[in-house]
Amino acid sequence: MLDLAALPGLSRAERVQALDTWLDGLLADAVGGTPPPKQRRGGPPPLSGTDGLALVAVGSLGRRELPPHGDLDLVLVHEGRPEVAAVADALWYPVWDAGLRLDHSVRTVGEAVAVASTDVKAGLGLLDVRFVAGDAELAARLRTATLASWRQSASRLLPQLRDLRRDRSRQLGELAFLLEPDLKEAYGGLREGQVLRAVAAAQLGDEPGAEVERAYALLLDVRDELRRRSGRPNDVLVRQEQRPVSVALGLADEDALLREVSLAGRRLAFVADETWRRVEAALVRRPRGRYRRVRREPLAEGVVRQGDEVVLAQGAKPAADPGLLVRAAAAAARADLLLSPYTLKVLAVHSPPVVEPWPAEVRWSFLRLLASGRSAVPVLEQLDQEGLLARLIPEWDRIRSLPQRHPWHRFTVDRHLVEAAAAAAELTHDVDRPDLLLVAALLHDIGKGWPGDHSEVGEPIAAGIAARMGFGEADVATVATLVRHHLLLPATATRRDIDDPATIDRVASTIGSDPAVLQLLHALAQADGAATSASAWSPWKAHLVAALVARVQGKLGGGPVSAPEPLLHPSGAQVIAPLPDSAETAAAVTVGIEDVADGQQVTVRAPDRPGLLSTCAGVLALNQLDVRAAKMSVEDGYGTGVFAVRPRFGRAPVPEILADAVRAALEGTLPLAERLRQREADYRQDGGRAVPPRISWHNSEVSGAATGIVEVRAADRAGLLYRLTAAITGEGLDVTSARIETLGADAVDCFYVCNPSGSPVEPDQRRRVEVALVAATVGAASAEELRGADTPG
């Protein structure tokens, strides 16, 4: 009797053995309970028992890899037995009655082979066929016939299989770089191991090696534990299951689990990529000829191109040539090719350690490799997979496949650095020292493998690496500065008022007096943002950073401090909402809109009153406009608010609608707080996390009218800017400008504030503002509103 409740707790081998024994009994019962067929007059005697009848497993059960709560993939093979339908019914129904998921079919050998030769998925499944019960000889014949058919049909089926995997990769991504990977279907997942065996079965590739088998076994273990913990057939390693799975597997934490999964996925994907290149080359039809000369084209000393690969030249001596490894990699990247697998193995085994500091030729080759841009990425992955990149930069091992939990990041730390170097290669013409830019891009996050602030920790690490590479003392110091301050420009541009001279002074004093450092930091910020994601480096952020750089450049050069173009125009809007003829002067409201970088600029002019900026922010939020920057000025009793906005759902703002809403809010006929609470209820994804906000003051970084900067880091939600500005205004402070940045599900909002009297913000008032801001982050516009509301917004 099968104990279903105990199956998930068994090992894979025990689970498969228990099911095999049970299925053997079911087949015997099914055959024994089915009336034997009558003998036809003059015909051979009918088969009896299980002669000519075999139950075989395919899929995960066929591979002896059935996970907890997995499907049973079974085929009942027969040799024309007329009672086979009745036997099948007697076999399948007990499986269904037991509550197991079943994928079943009834075939003759010929039928199975016919299906396998035309359907790539069926053919792939039948390669895993395994005898379970019945006629073993019949099962063996099925396996032999299926394998022969697969080899004969390989030239037609393998391209289909390749396209299927590429489609899944586009849909699900690469397992190695996902925070919640599909362990089976993401590229580099379990399916890749099965495909590699299928290619080997077609005799177009090698059997998977020991490293591939270890990576595959790890993913099997993770999937088993995931299903065992979740209690359902799920292959997606969701975040809430990562900690219990890591504990069950004896790993330190969920990051250690993700790192192991990433390393396994990268190995499987790397071998799969190489295998598909071999398959495609093997399937290309070439003209027949008695002799076929292979063209060998010299690329560098000791390195030649042979076909579509880079190999070592005849007479090359890797053991006696320390620069050959990096020279070959650079030559491959410059030619947009890959090193042949054999060449890679030879270099891994025979290349001696590079002398430190690196000889000039080695450093030059390494810089040529990085300067190759996108074509350097797969070559660096080749070096990484063979352990050669860590041989050059030992610190690399600490960041290999290190996950990044931030939603903006597409890649693990090491791959992000490689992508940043590739992006920096496109900017080398914009800087005076492209070599320092490339090295800094490759090392800017090297400190993420260590405790503490990665910029501070990474500074001495990067300096040590640059020194080993053979850079001079001044250049080492520059690389260290670039790593230490690689976030300075984007963080300042998006969180500080770049029109404030104090902001420019602080940036200039941080980077020193050398304009070349500013130039390099600007290029590094662009490369870092491009390697992170499109959200991390939007046209708006690029515009902000460029404007900041222009102002700091003017400061360092002693010239005028200006931007390429204004960030927020106080006037000059292209579309103006007309003022109603019957409106009184006290209620006059106009709205102008013009297109700017990555969005629109909304200019609102209305009679000045306390909280005007907050009112305008609430109206914009109600109209589904995300605000990235805001500034308020007052003249002749009128306030002018200028807002850089981006439509949340792609619909451009309508000036007439905004003007009517601002007018109604000022008159009190539009209950902004109530409407925004309803909006948030309609879009619950905006406020699902209960993370305490972080509030900090930066009073020493301002000049002019503002007397302080208050920075709020909180979970993003609908109408957050409205609530925060209302909270500040409610405690007697004016908001003169704001910088807003959304980082995934988090918001970082910085407000320049001042007392109307011009007096500094006292500690008691600061504490009251902080209390009000905390209340605002949970959905109330003030502490009083929070206490009086039945349910927080």
Alpha carbon distance 510, 506 (integer Å): 6
Distance of CA 43 to CAs 40, 46, 47, 239, Å? 5, 9, 12, 64
Q: How confident is the model at residue 690 (pLDDT cuts 50, 70, 90)?
A: low
pLDDT at 793 over 60: no
Task: List all residues 6 or more positions away from 20 whose beta carbon is below 8 Å from its beta carbon.
Answer: 57, 132, 133
Stretch 521-546: mean pLDDT, rounded? 90
pLDDT of residue 558: 55
Backbone angles phi, psi at 537, to 5 degrees: -135, 75
Alpha carbon distance 314, 303 (integer Å): 9
pLDDT tens per residue, range 619-675: 999 998 988 888 888 888 899 999 988 887 778 889 999 999 999 999 989 998 888
Alpha carbon distance 304, 345 (integer Å): 16
Backbone angles phi, psi at 432, to 5 degrees: -80, -25
* Strand boundaries in 283-397, DSSP class E: 296-300, 303-306, 309-312, 338-339
pLDDT of residue 587: 54
Range of weakest confidence among 520-534, 705-719, 725-739: 705-719
pLDDT tens per residue, range 84-106: 999 999 999 999 999 999 999 99
pLDDT at 18 over 60: yes
Give the type of residue at 424.
A
Q: Tell me the two tokens of residue 205.
A: 């590739």
pLDDT of residue 568: 56
pLDDT tens per residue, range 761-788: 888 999 999 999 999 987 654 444 433 4
Q: Radius of gyration (Cα) for the chain, nearest Å?
A: 34
pLDDT at 164 over 50: yes
Q: 575 or 120, which is more confident?
A: 120
Domain ranges of the chain: 4-36+46-152, 156-283, 411-567, 575-788
Task: List all residues 6 or more positions away from 531 whose beta carbon is below 8 Å from its beta carbon.
Answer: 411, 416, 417, 419, 420, 422, 423
pLDDT of residue 525: 97
Q: 2 or 714, which is more confident?
A: 714
pLDDT of residue 704: 64
CA atoms within 13 A on the CB side of 288: 0
Alpha carbon distance 594, 569 (integer Å): 10
CATH of 411-567, one of 1.10.287, 1.10.3210, 1.10.3470, 1.20.1260: 1.10.3210
CB 223 within 8 A of CB 190: yes
CB 646 within 8 A of CB 590: no
pLDDT at 715 over 90: no
pLDDT at 471 over 60: yes
Q: Tell me the two tokens of residue 385.
A: 């997979």
Stretch 565-594: mean pLDDT, rounded? 56
Stretch 214-242: mean pLDDT, rounded? 95
pLDDT at 49 over 90: no
pLDDT at 262 over 90: yes
Range of weakest confidence among 300-314, 358-372, 630-644: 630-644
- CATH placement of domain 4-36+46-152: 3.30.460.10
pLDDT of residue 82: 85
Q: 705 or 363, which is more confident?
A: 363
pLDDT cut 70: percent of the chain above it: 88
Q: What is the 3-state secondary structure (H, E, C) of 564-609?
A: CCCCCCCCCCCEECCCCCCCCHHHCCEEEEEEECCEEEEEEEEECC
* CATH superfamily name and code, 156-283: Nucleotidyltransferases  domain 2 (1.20.120.330)
pLDDT of residue 285: 56
**How far does Cα 702 stand from its chain's mean position?**
37
Q: 736 or 334, which is more confident?
A: 334
Nearest Cα to 36, choosing from 24, 48, 54, 44? 48
Alpha carbon distance 536, 409 (integer Å): 8
Going by the DSSP 8-state scheme, the letter that residue 561 receives in this structure is -
Range of weakest confidence among 32-36, 299-303, 651-655: 32-36
Average pLDDT, the chain: 87
Nearest Cα to 322, choosing from 302, 352, 344? 352
Alpha helix segments (H runs only) across 406-511 = 413-425, 434-443, 454-468, 473-484, 488-495, 501-511
Q: 45 or 786, which is more confident?
A: 45
pLDDT of residue 779: 64
Q: How confident is the model at residue 791 (pLDDT cuts 50, 70, 90)?
A: very low
pLDDT at 565 over 70: no
Q: How confident is the model at residue 500 (pLDDT cuts 50, 70, 90)?
A: confident
